[in-house]
Amino acid sequence: MRSQLVGRAEAAVSRVGDGEGVLVNPETILKNQVKEALLRIGILVFSNAQAGRTYRAGLGPGSADLIAVVHGRFLGLELKTETGAASPDQLAWGDTVEDHGGCYAIVRSVDEAIAVVRLVAKWTPRPERLRLREAA
Protein backbone atom coordinates (compact mmCIF):
# COMPACT_ATOMS: atom_id res chain seq x y z
CA MET A 1 0.00 0.00 0.00
CA ARG A 2 2.74 2.47 0.95
CA SER A 3 4.63 1.82 -2.29
CA GLN A 4 1.46 2.54 -4.29
CA LEU A 5 1.03 5.87 -2.49
CA VAL A 6 4.67 6.77 -3.04
CA GLY A 7 4.36 5.79 -6.71
CA ARG A 8 1.31 8.02 -7.12
CA ALA A 9 3.04 10.90 -5.38
CA GLU A 10 6.09 10.56 -7.60
CA ALA A 11 3.86 10.43 -10.68
CA ALA A 12 2.07 13.59 -9.59
CA VAL A 13 5.18 15.75 -9.51
CA SER A 14 8.05 16.62 -11.79
CA ARG A 15 11.61 17.25 -10.73
CA VAL A 16 12.83 20.67 -11.76
CA GLY A 17 15.66 22.98 -10.83
CA ASP A 18 19.38 22.46 -10.64
CA GLY A 19 19.41 18.95 -9.27
CA GLU A 20 18.22 19.88 -5.79
CA GLY A 21 15.01 17.91 -6.29
CA VAL A 22 12.50 20.73 -6.07
CA LEU A 23 9.06 19.16 -6.50
CA VAL A 24 6.50 20.96 -8.64
CA ASN A 25 2.97 19.84 -9.41
CA PRO A 26 2.44 19.24 -13.17
CA GLU A 27 -0.66 21.48 -13.07
CA THR A 28 1.51 24.30 -11.70
CA ILE A 29 3.90 23.88 -14.63
CA LEU A 30 0.94 23.95 -17.04
CA LYS A 31 -0.51 27.00 -15.28
CA ASN A 32 2.73 28.91 -15.74
CA GLN A 33 3.03 27.86 -19.40
CA VAL A 34 -0.56 28.88 -20.19
CA LYS A 35 -0.25 32.20 -18.38
CA GLU A 36 2.97 33.04 -20.25
CA ALA A 37 1.43 32.08 -23.62
CA LEU A 38 -1.70 34.18 -23.02
CA LEU A 39 0.34 37.19 -21.94
CA ARG A 40 2.43 36.87 -25.13
CA ILE A 41 -0.70 37.18 -27.27
CA GLY A 42 -1.93 40.20 -25.35
CA ILE A 43 -4.52 38.65 -23.04
CA LEU A 44 -5.01 40.15 -19.59
CA VAL A 45 -4.57 37.14 -17.30
CA PHE A 46 -4.16 36.66 -13.56
CA SER A 47 -3.15 33.69 -11.47
CA ASN A 48 -5.75 32.94 -8.85
CA ALA A 49 -4.21 32.63 -5.41
CA GLN A 50 -4.53 29.02 -4.36
CA ALA A 51 -3.97 27.83 -0.83
CA GLY A 52 -4.00 24.66 1.20
CA ARG A 53 -6.78 23.23 3.27
CA THR A 54 -5.92 25.19 6.40
CA TYR A 55 -5.90 28.62 4.76
CA ARG A 56 -8.48 30.06 2.36
CA ALA A 57 -7.37 32.42 -0.38
CA GLY A 58 -8.36 33.37 -3.89
CA LEU A 59 -11.89 33.60 -5.24
CA GLY A 60 -13.34 30.83 -3.11
CA PRO A 61 -13.57 27.05 -3.17
CA GLY A 62 -13.34 25.63 -6.66
CA SER A 63 -12.30 28.87 -8.33
CA ALA A 64 -10.36 28.66 -11.59
CA ASP A 65 -6.57 28.55 -11.73
CA LEU A 66 -6.35 31.45 -14.18
CA ILE A 67 -8.66 34.40 -14.67
CA ALA A 68 -8.57 36.23 -18.00
CA VAL A 69 -10.39 39.12 -19.61
CA VAL A 70 -11.01 38.56 -23.31
CA HIS A 71 -12.65 41.52 -25.09
CA GLY A 72 -14.35 42.49 -21.85
CA ARG A 73 -15.56 38.95 -21.12
CA PHE A 74 -14.61 37.18 -17.88
CA LEU A 75 -12.94 33.82 -18.53
CA GLY A 76 -12.03 31.28 -15.86
CA LEU A 77 -9.56 28.60 -16.94
CA GLU A 78 -9.23 25.45 -14.86
CA LEU A 79 -6.00 23.63 -15.73
CA LYS A 80 -5.79 19.85 -15.57
CA THR A 81 -3.29 17.23 -16.62
CA GLU A 82 -4.37 14.55 -19.10
CA THR A 83 -5.72 12.40 -16.27
CA GLY A 84 -6.87 15.18 -13.92
CA ALA A 85 -10.56 15.65 -13.17
CA ALA A 86 -12.41 18.73 -11.97
CA SER A 87 -13.78 18.56 -8.45
CA PRO A 88 -17.47 19.16 -7.69
CA ASP A 89 -16.52 22.60 -6.25
CA GLN A 90 -14.69 23.49 -9.47
CA LEU A 91 -17.64 22.47 -11.64
CA ALA A 92 -20.06 24.41 -9.42
CA TRP A 93 -17.83 27.49 -9.59
CA GLY A 94 -17.78 27.21 -13.39
CA ASP A 95 -21.57 26.93 -13.48
CA THR A 96 -21.85 30.10 -11.38
CA VAL A 97 -19.53 32.01 -13.71
CA GLU A 98 -21.56 30.91 -16.74
CA ASP A 99 -24.86 31.73 -14.99
CA HIS A 100 -23.57 35.30 -14.60
CA GLY A 101 -22.55 35.71 -18.24
CA GLY A 102 -18.89 34.74 -17.96
CA CYS A 103 -17.05 31.87 -19.60
CA TYR A 104 -15.39 28.86 -17.99
CA ALA A 105 -13.31 26.08 -19.48
CA ILE A 106 -11.24 23.14 -18.37
CA VAL A 107 -8.08 22.95 -20.46
CA ARG A 108 -5.25 20.42 -20.59
CA SER A 109 -2.66 22.20 -22.73
CA VAL A 110 -1.43 25.58 -23.90
CA ASP A 111 -2.99 24.92 -27.32
CA GLU A 112 -6.40 24.21 -25.75
CA ALA A 113 -6.20 27.41 -23.70
CA ILE A 114 -5.37 29.51 -26.76
CA ALA A 115 -8.20 27.86 -28.72
CA VAL A 116 -10.66 28.72 -25.91
CA VAL A 117 -9.46 32.33 -25.84
CA ARG A 118 -9.86 32.61 -29.61
CA LEU A 119 -13.37 31.15 -29.40
CA VAL A 120 -14.36 33.61 -26.66
CA ALA A 121 -12.83 36.49 -28.64
CA LYS A 122 -14.86 35.57 -31.75
CA TRP A 123 -18.07 34.94 -29.83
CA THR A 124 -17.98 38.10 -27.78
CA PRO A 125 -18.42 41.43 -29.51
CA ARG A 126 -16.01 43.96 -28.08
CA PRO A 127 -18.15 46.14 -25.80
CA GLU A 128 -17.78 49.87 -25.57
CA ARG A 129 -15.47 50.65 -22.73
CA LEU A 130 -17.28 52.04 -19.71
CA ARG A 131 -15.63 55.16 -18.41
CA LEU A 132 -17.11 55.26 -14.94
CA ARG A 133 -14.49 57.67 -13.63
CA GLU A 134 -15.71 60.26 -16.12
CA ALA A 135 -19.41 59.79 -15.28
CA ALA A 136 -19.37 62.16 -12.31
Name residues of the chain where pLDDT drops below 50: 1-19, 54, 135-136
Cα(135)–Cα(120) distance, integer angstroms: 29
Comparing CA positions, the residue from 74, 46, 48 lying closest to residue 60 is 48
Q: Does the global pTM surpass 0.75?
A: no
Question: What's the CA gap between 107 and 68, in Å, rounded?
Answer: 14
CA 37 – CA 94 distance, rounded (Å)? 22
pLDDT 10s digits, 45-75: 999 876 555 456 667 888 999 999 998 899 9
What is the H or E stretch that residue 24 is in? Answer: strand 22-24
Domains of the chain: 26-126 (3.40.1350.10)
